[in-house]
């Protein structure tokens, strides 16, 4: 079986979020299961020069973009045993930043078409083309309309994964002639709500559509979560399924992580206590090994549940013997709020603004509990990372949080959960976690159970392999 993984970002070459982690880890896990997997992505200017130096030029070709043709260079590199292809066009990709440009529709229409044009020029004809998010959503559409009947391309199947349905690739219909290049009689495949919608086209034309957690797969069929795509998702529900992401358990390993203060293991938790002490010292918190630390590492935006935290934090700090740490940046409203709370509770609350990867690792390792009260969460990686470091998640039962965290009330779970998007429900889960913390023997059992929970990509890779086999055999 051969799989071509199509993505707009991948570790270690270029990253802006969780998609890069998935793209860097899932193909590796598939390779370990003896699946022939390769990755293709744009050759961004932001890729570090030392990684560019390892690339080998393969060929160049001419790619149709609506009524014109554009140059595309094809480069190859190997990382971790997986072959990466990089598609080069300096006009589209020699820029600062991966996304957010005025012509993103054209940039990724070019990329999607170039992926298909590239195939006959490389020594790899895939059985499956696995596409990810709106930036690659035109691949299954173009394949269905222009390539599937070509003898060389016949037999290839396409899978499209929705990582976040909020970002769909919606543009004005004037781009049909200038950018997308689809004839008038075939445009219904992309038409949606008076716009061109790249994601809608992929849902229509891909052989299967997946999401990054089982719960998210059925949530996005509801208007509350779907951002307008629920009618087409319900009409195509037979091709929709969810597979929970994993994390890189080698990178997030408290026994070997060089970014935390002290390494520790499930058999020796003394290092976790030392991480807590040094975290308190760094963040100017009261040096007290007994006080529980509740942490958040998050973007400061409303859908991460910060409205609930804002409503309940003052009551939580007044009534409970805790310390609270938050790391992140985002909306001014939340940055200002947490700064004011730090001033109100000196030595007990620390608000760290910005994206500081090494500090985030130290927070995961040093905190006792990790709060994620999200309004929506397609999968979530933070709760999995927290488990890996023995920091107990407190989460709302939504999306991937529901699928990865089980309430410990029955003695079998790995965290604390609440259902309703309500500040008092969240506060109730926090109080249950704090009560559990004071039962020290039971808490240590919970910490060890969390650290040994199966979070690896091997589990997810097995589910994807089963899906690939099903699609190939249809």
In total, the chain counts a number of residues equal to 474
Mean pLDDT of 412-420: 96
Backbone angles phi, psi at 350, to 5 degrees: -130, 125
Nearest to 86 by CA among 162, 157, 8: 8
- Tens digit of pLDDT for each residue in 279-302? 999 999 999 999 999 999 999 999
* pLDDT in the model for residue 465: 96
Give the other-Cβ count within 10 Å of 158's Cβ.
25
Question: Which SS3 state, helix, strand or coil, does residue 334 take?
Answer: helix
Q: Write the CA distances from 272 to 160, 254, 282, 295, 445, integer angstroms.
A: 40, 9, 15, 15, 14
DSSP string, 399-454: HHHHHH--BGGGSS-SBEEE-SS-HHHHHHHHHHHHHHHTSHHHHHHHHHHHHTS-
Q: Above 90 in pLDDT, residue 6?
A: yes
Q: Above 90 in pLDDT, residue 455?
A: no
* pLDDT in the model for residue 239: 97
Query: Could you give the CA distance from residue 264 to residue 272 in angstroms, rounded to a whole number?
Result: 6
- Tens digit of pLDDT for each residue in 73-115? 999 999 989 999 999 999 999 999 999 999 999 999 999 999 9
Query: Could you give the CA distance from residue 246 to residue 385 in angstroms, rounded to a whole number?
Result: 10
Residue 327: pLDDT band (50, 70, 90) is: very high
Residue 8: pLDDT band (50, 70, 90) is: very high
Q: Model's pTM, two decimal places?
A: 0.93
Residue 331: pLDDT band (50, 70, 90) is: very high
* pLDDT in the model for residue 410: 81
Q: Write the CA distances from 96 to 84, 101, 172, 459, integer angstroms.
A: 22, 9, 25, 36
CB distance 356 to 380 below 8 Å: no
Residue 409: pLDDT band (50, 70, 90) is: confident
Domains of the chain: 2-246+458-473 (3.40.50.2000), 270-454 (3.40.50.2000)
Average pLDDT score over the chain: 96
């Amino acid at each position: 079986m051969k799989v071509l993984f199509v993505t707009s970002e991948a570790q270690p070459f270029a990253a802006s979020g969780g998609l890069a982690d998935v793209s860097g880890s899932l193909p590796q896990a598939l390779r370990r299961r003896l699946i022939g997997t390769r990755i293709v992505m744009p050759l961004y200017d932001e890729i570090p020069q030392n990684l560019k130096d390892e690339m080998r030029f393969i060929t160049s070709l001419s790619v149709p973009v609506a009524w014109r043709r554009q140059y595309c260079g094809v480069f190859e590199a190997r990382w971790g045993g997986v072959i990466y292809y990089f598609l080069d066009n300096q006009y589209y990709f020699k820029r600062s930043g991966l996304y957010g440009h005025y012509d993103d529709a054209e940039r990724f229409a070019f990329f999607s078409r170039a992926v298909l044009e590239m195939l006959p020029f490389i020594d790899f004809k895939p059985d499956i083309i696995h596409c990810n998010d709106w930036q690659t959503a035109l691949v299954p559409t173009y394949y269905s309309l222009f390539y599937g009947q070509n003898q060389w391309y016949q037999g290839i199947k396409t899978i499209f994964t929705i990582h976040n349905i909020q970002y769909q690739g919606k543009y004005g219909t004037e781009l049909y002639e200038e950018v997308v290049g689809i004839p008038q009689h075939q445009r219904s495949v992309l038409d949606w709500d008076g716009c061109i919608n790249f994601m809608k086209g992929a849902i229509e034309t891909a052989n299967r559509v997946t999401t990054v957690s089982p719960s998210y797969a059925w949530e996005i069929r509801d208007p509350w979560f779907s951002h307008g795509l629920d009618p087409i998702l319900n009409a195509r529900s037979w091709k929709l399924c969810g597979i929970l992401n994993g994390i890189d358990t080698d990178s997030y390993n408290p026994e070997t992580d060089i970014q935390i203060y002290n390494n520790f293991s499930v058999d020796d938790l003394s290092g976790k206590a030392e991480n807590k002490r040094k975290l308190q010292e760094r963040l100017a918190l009261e040096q007290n090994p007994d006080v529980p630390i509740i942490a958040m590492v998050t973007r400061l935006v409303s859908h991460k549940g910060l409205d609930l935290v804002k409503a309940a934090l003052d009551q939580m700090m007044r009534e409970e013997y805790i310390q609270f740490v938050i790391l992140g940046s985002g909306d001014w409203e939340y940055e200002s709020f947490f700064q004011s709370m730090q001033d109100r509770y000196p030595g007990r609350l620390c608000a760290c603004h910005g994206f500081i990867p090494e500090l985030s690792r130290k927070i995961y390792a040093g905190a006792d509990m990790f709060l994620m009260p999200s309004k929506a969460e397609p999968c979530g990686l933070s709760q999995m990372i927290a488990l890996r470091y023995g920091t107990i998640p407190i989460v709302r039962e939504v999306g991937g949080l529901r699928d990865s965290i089980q309430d410990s009330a029955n003695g079998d779970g790995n965290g604390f959960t609440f259902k309703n998007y309500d500040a008092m429900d969240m506060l109730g889960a926090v109080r249950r976690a704090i009560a559990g913390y004071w039962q020290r023997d039971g808490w240590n059992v919970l910490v060890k159970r969390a650290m040994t929970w199966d979070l690896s990509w091997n589990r997810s890779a097995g589910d994807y392999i089963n899906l690939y086999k099903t699609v190939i055999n249809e």
